[in-house]
Structure 1
Amino acid sequence: MAPGPRPRWRQVPDLDGARSPTSCDLEVFTFTGKQRRRSYQVTVEFPQGRALFVEVGHCVTAGRGRVPSCQLRGPLFQDHVAFYRDFRGRHLLATAVDNWPFFKVNMLPNGTAVAGGGMDVSVLDTLAAKLNFTYSLTTPADGQWGVPLGNGSISGMIGQVARHEVDFAIDEITITGPREEVVDFTRPYFLESTTFITQAPQEKSRAYTLVRPFALEVWLVLVATVLFAGPILSLFTTAADSITRGDPPRGLSPSFADRPGSKYKSRTYSVETYAFGMYRIFVNQGSHLRTFWPSCRFFLATWYLFCITIYALYAGSVTSFLALPAFEEPLQSLQDLVDAHAERGFQASLLKASSHEAIFKNADGGLLHDVWLTTSSEVFVDSPTEGVSGVLRNKYAYIHATMALKIRAFKFGRRKFHMARETFYPQGYGIVCRSGSPYKAIFEEVLIRISEAGLVNKWAKDELDAIQEGNDEEEEEASGTVAITLEHLQAAFILMVLGGSSAGLVLLLEILLAWHKQDDLSGDEGSSGGGTKH
């Protein structure tokens, strides 16, 4: 509990001089007025908007045969918690920055700052109504939340409170150790964690749709399997035919007949024919290969089952890739961010003079220090809105509290952003009061009541729902069945172009070989003719 008001002793000629323009609002004055030669009246003036001194006792100084004494009929200091349950209409000065959804600050044409809504505005209005005070707003010149700086100064809202320029500050202000050294915080009225937001992962090119279902090693194994399947079947057929000398097995009729009425004879194929036949089976086009040898039939049966399995897996995967496009791997943790900095040039973006900047900047080592090394002077922003919008233009990962990121993601379009799954640095928000503030305790009492009643969470949800409604309508309009376009089928056309190009190259090679062979034949004929003539 914060201490009570501190006594300040001043000598004044009368009661009218007890208060002066330099008197601090909410001070408590104790006045001792001389009644007789050695007798003094003790009065106390409590802040009630006007000088109102109440007699609480009298004192007698030492004299001849008299012992100094002081008799008090009332306390010199009232219980500040009980006293400040009613501020009696006093006017307080608060500071805040424009930080919706917590505190929206609107500037009037005459330069006056007024509250425009937000979760913390609801908290402040409830405090004012409950404790019977009014307030006006001001904003820090630097527009920052504030931290103690190395040169001894204090920036932002924290500095305004520490220098007694304002009575208190409320605006998503995180309770931290360095800040508590210069100001007092109430107990936290809202708790949440920190995460980071990046641009939504880009869709992978559909040009690789036909090869994406299987990994590279799977494709290599499949190509080798298809290439060797034909020669293996040819080997089985040749071996069986040589052992049985072309006669079919006893009790089994041949699996083919050349023509009706023709005499049966054993049929064998070239290795190229076996290889192409196995390829036809692999691409689900059937085959004209026929055999009656049990070993060959067993091999073909297992080959059919193998191809059916591969085809089903491949066809299902291609269908899913066409219906649901594949995206780049998103960043889900701080370690992912550090890795992405090295591989893709991502940087961590932070709010200036914030608690988030402090935790990374002051880290001596480990992951937090590694994240700090990804920053540069260009990534620090003046507001959360600037930080969130910045990730759409650059490879930034903006680090901030979860609720503020959600709100701004909905505002700019949820589909444009990705929020990391990992959360860290749990933080609590409190009202910033002057050191030794007499009304901090009563602020805490009211804050605990509204927090336990669920009002703070309700106000936070109201702000989130307000921005989410319009965003949901846009997403519903964008959703629905999409017709297949050339973009979806570009992989098939690319494969066709590659096949045609390869066929053209092979044709050109065949023509060159044919010309070369024709030249050789012409040369041989010329040589033979010349020899005969001779």
Structure 2
Amino acid sequence: MVIVLDYLAQGLNFSYTFVRPPDGTWGTKLKDGFWTGMMGQVYRKEVDIGLGPFAIGLLRVEAVDFSWPLYIEPVRVLAGRGLPEVDPWGFLFPLAPLVWVAILMVLLLLPAFLLILAACLSHHTLKPDYMFTEMFVLTQVLLQQSVRVQKEWWWWQRVVVGMWMLVTVVLTKSYAGNLMSLLAVRYIPEPYQTLRDVLDDPNVIMIFQKNSIICEAINAAESGVMKEVRDSQTDNRVEFLTVNQYVSEHVLNNEVKSGRKVIIEVDTITNIIKGQEFSKTGSCDYYSSREAILPRSVGMIGHKDSPIVPSLSRGKQELTEANLYHCTEDTKTAPYTAPEKANITDRTKVLWETRTNVINRRNGILESWHKELSPEFDEDDTITSSSSIGNVFPNGGHQHPPMNSKSRMT
């Protein structure tokens, strides 16, 4: 976001100063109507804009104006990977559950179908155990055991058994190949793929960022999963921490990796944590859930009816339409410092060429901004911006300038 602010400052011809909120949070509305964090600074007009990016919510829209959204960001569960293990039920994994159910249903229904055909087409008296005999034959075929064709079998019995043989050949070959692949790679458990999975485990503690948009959703929920999260606070299963607190080595290494706690946070921060883990160790012991929780549009904020917000919105719209923001954002999810044993490939050249193209496109957009938008600000205009997450991640991520630093762009 600092890069975006630099682009906007060059295009709109203003300088800015960073001010951090005292509590280091995004901010939320308390029961007495007081706004905390960066939201409170913007709402009380202590600063001109909030850098964010801030997720759009109902309470926030009533207090501040949002700029053009940059992207849609979901919340995910960040948990520690388990140790490689051999699953005792691994022999069931090569085939999907529906396939196993279909096989069982065929073994039950196909003998009944043969019994109906025999009763309708055969002139011989059927034995009492006819159906069980046919089921045993079909099971032998499935287990690839030898089956002796009886002389008294009718042509339709031979056709049915022959078709079943073709089906079982495909099934057994598929099963054997998938089973071999599963045995070659040990299973690493990743149990928390949804917020429901976390709630169903009574032994895990959930960590949320203090005064964030998801806290507002939890407090406002009247039913559903979020209400269950709020109710679980009575069992001491929920903790609200600042970013500085939960990215500490004690929490990440001792609590999250061990599986005692999970962090429920936006994609940007979870990707930074995983990237830094890979930079330090050469591997990543964390994983993110597949479920995207509360995806919301995010953007900067300003005072209600502030003339600054429409100007910033137009510049951010140019950035997103030219795909400049996503080009710079994609590089942030990569490891910040490569491990010593990593191999250097042609990807370095591709990344360099991509950065060059981004810079060229950015310069063209900045030149158009100077022509179209610069009259809206004087040369000495200064905008105060509120930000809170800077310097939390020393090797990357949100690298904001020091507090109260002031720079002028002309």
Q: Distance in 2 between matches of 1:123 and 1:129?
A: 10
Paired AA for residue 380 in structure 1 = F
Q: Distance in 2 between matches of 1:208 and 1:475?
A: 37
Q: Distance in 2 between matches of 1:392 and 1:161?
A: 37
1:250-297 Cα deviation digits (max 9, x unpaired): xxxxxxxxxxxxxxxxxxxxxxxxxxxxxxxx9x9xxxxxxxxx9xxx
Q: Distance in 1 between matches of 2:243 and 2:223?
A: 27
Within a 5 Å distance, the mapping from 1:117-516 to structure 2 comes to: 120-205=1-86, 319-328=180-189, 330-339=191-200, 341-342=201-202, 345-375=203-233, 376=236, 379-383=239-243, 386=246, 389=252, 390-413=255-278, 415-465=284-334, 467=336, 470=338, 474=342
Q: Distance in 2 between matches of 1:449 and 1:313?
A: 51
Q: 1:316 to 1:187 in 2, by over 3 A?
A: closer
8 Å CA contact 1:161, 1:433 repeated in 2? yes
1:61-81 Cα deviation digits (max 9, x unpaired): xxxxxxxxxxxxxxxxxxxxx
8 Å CA contact 1:356, 1:399 repeated in 2? no
State the structure with more CA Rg: 1
> Structure 1, unaligned stretches of length 5 or more?
1-119, 219-281, 285-293, 295-304, 477-534
Q: 1:371 to 1:384 in 2, by over 3 A?
A: farther
SS in 2 for 1:149: coil
1:437-474 Cα deviation digits (max 9, x unpaired): 1222111111111111111111111222353x726965
Q: Please give the TM-score of this superposition, normalised by the length of structure 2.
A: 0.57
8 Å CA contact 2:81, 2:188 repeated in 1? no
Q: 1:354 to 1:155 in 2, by over 3 A?
A: same
Q: Distance in 2 between matches of 1:423 and 1:201?
A: 21
Q: 1:472 to 1:348 in 2, by over 3 A?
A: farther
Percent identity, aligned pairs only, is 25
> Structure 2, unaligned stretches of length 5 or more?
101-142, 146-150, 152-164, 345-410
1:31-70 Cα deviation digits (max 9, x unpaired): xxxxxxxxxxxxxxxxxxxxxxxxxxxxxxxxxxxxxxxx
SS in 2 for 1:465: coil
Identify which of structures 1 and 2 has the higher relative contact order when contacts are C-alpha pairs closer than 8 Å and 6+ apart: 2
Q: Please give the TM-score of this superposition, normalised by the length of structure 1.
A: 0.45
Equivalent residue number for residue 228 of structure 1: none
Q: Distance in 2 between matches of 1:211 and 1:454?
A: 45
8 Å CA contact 2:79, 2:259 repeated in 1? no
Q: 1:160 to 1:357 in 2, by over 3 A?
A: same
| CA apart distance, 1:209 | 7.8
8 Å CA contact 1:174, 1:429 repeated in 2? yes
Aligned residues: 291
Q: Distance in 1 between matches of 2:41 and 2:10?
A: 24
Q: Distance in 1 between matches of 2:32 and 2:215?
A: 18
| CA apart distance, 1:329 | 5.4
